[in-house]
């Protein structure tokens, strides 16, 4: 099953996390727009 993860904190993920998510069927990820933990520049 392919799916979209609608709430993944991408700045706290490692390359291994992305690879594991892809292997599990994630085809798209969305970073929450309200996340203020890191500068957007």
9 domain residue, yes or no: yes
Q: Would you say residue 4 lies in a domain?
A: yes
Residue burial 3-28, b: 16+ Cβ < 10 Å; e: rest: eeeeebeeeeeeeeeeeebeeeeeee
pLDDT number for residue 9: 76
Q: Supply the pLDDT for residue 30.
A: 78
Domain that holds residue 21: 1-26
pLDDT tens for the 41 residues of the chain, in order: 778 877 777 777 888 998 998 998 888 887 766 666 666 66
Instruction: Quote the pLDDT of residue 41.
Output: 66
What's the pLDDT score for residue 39?
65
Q: What angle do CA 13, 27, 24 make, to 5 degrees?
A: 70
In a domain, 36, yes or no: no
Residue 38 lies inside a defined structural domain of this protein: no
Give the pLDDT confidence score for residue 20 in this predicted structure: 93
Assess if residue 7 is contained within a domain: yes
Residue 20 lies in a domain: yes
Number of structural domains, the chain? 1
Q: For 1-41, where are the alpha helices, taking DSSP H only?
A: 15-23
Q: What is the pLDDT of residue 13?
A: 83
Q: Which among 19, 35, 16, 22 is positioned nearest to 5, based on CA atoms?
A: 22
């Amino acid at each position: 099953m392919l799916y979209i993860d609608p709430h993944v904190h991408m700045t706290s993920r490692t390359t291994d996390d992305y690879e594991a998510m892809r292997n599990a069927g994630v085809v798209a990820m969305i970073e929450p727009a309200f996340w203020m933990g890191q500068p957007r520049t």
